[in-house]
Amino acid sequence: MNVKHNKENVLKTGLDLFCHKGFNSLGIDEICKVTGMTKGAFYNAFKSKEQFLIEAIVLYAKNNVNRIKTQLQANKKDTAYNRLLQFYISMLEVQPKVNFMGCFINNIMSELGATNENVGIAATKAFDEFIEAIEPTVKEAQRENELDANINARQITELLHSTFYGALTRAKSSKDHQQSIHTMNLLFNNLKIKP
């Protein structure tokens, strides 16, 4: 019997598996068992585990860009600076609730970014999409005179998000998010224009 699988649902299930197990610890047999796909259906849809991961990265990036934009544009009564800070703090505060799972893209970049060119390209593209979604709020904070307008907004955004990824990795490995929150607060305090 040939069962038709919803590709997006299969990818969402795959994302969950990759988040919990990583790429190297996850086999095709387990993916097929959890998704209900046969190996033939899997290879027909994705060609390889690497291609499955790359498509999962693309889906994750698309969903996260929408989440980032929504979260940063919420509560427009607050300053852009405060919305940016809260955006990062909230992602760190949720870590104990998700057993310090970290961020899918950060985890994949750490595991495969330097050893698998195709995955590295896909993960870098996703990271760049996150930067592009965050940068308008950085520019808004510059217009509000809370972040230095003499520093390129893209560079500030790269600094914020790269530092966040490092803080997130530290929280994940130490199972303690408080130092990571302190790190992000310190960074923001040092970037803020003093009156």
Query: Does the residue 144 lie in any domain?
Result: yes
Whole-angstrom distance, CA of residue 108 vs CA of residue 125: 13
Tens place of pLDDT per residue across the chain (195 aa): 344 678 888 899 888 888 888 888 889 999 999 988 889 989 988 999 999 999 999 999 999 999 999 999 988 889 999 999 999 999 999 999 999 988 889 988 988 888 999 999 999 999 999 999 999 999 999 999 999 999 999 999 999 999 999 999 999 999 999 999 999 999 999 999 987
Coil, helix or strand for 53? Answer: helix
Residue 156 CA: distances (Å) to CA of 1, 49, 63, 82, 151 = 54, 35, 23, 15, 7
* Closest to 121 (Cα-Cα) out of 165, 168, 57: 57
Contacts of 71 (CB under 8 A, 6+ apart): 87, 90
| pLDDT tens figures, 140-154 | 999 999 999 999 999
Vertex 143 angle, CA 130 and 183, to 5°: 50
104: domain CATH number is: 1.10.357.10
Query: Does the residue 153 lie in any domain?
Result: yes
Q: Is the pTM of this model over 0.85?
A: yes
Query: Does the residue 172 lie in any domain?
Result: yes
Contacts of 42 (CB under 8 A, 6+ apart): 28, 31, 32, 35, 52
Domain count, the chain: 1
Query: Does the residue 116 lie in any domain?
Result: yes
| Residue range of the domain that includes 184 | 56-191
Query: Does the residue 38 lie in any domain?
Result: no
Query: Does the residue 125 lie in any domain?
Result: yes
| pLDDT tens figures, 117-148 | 999 999 999 999 999 999 999 999 999 999 99
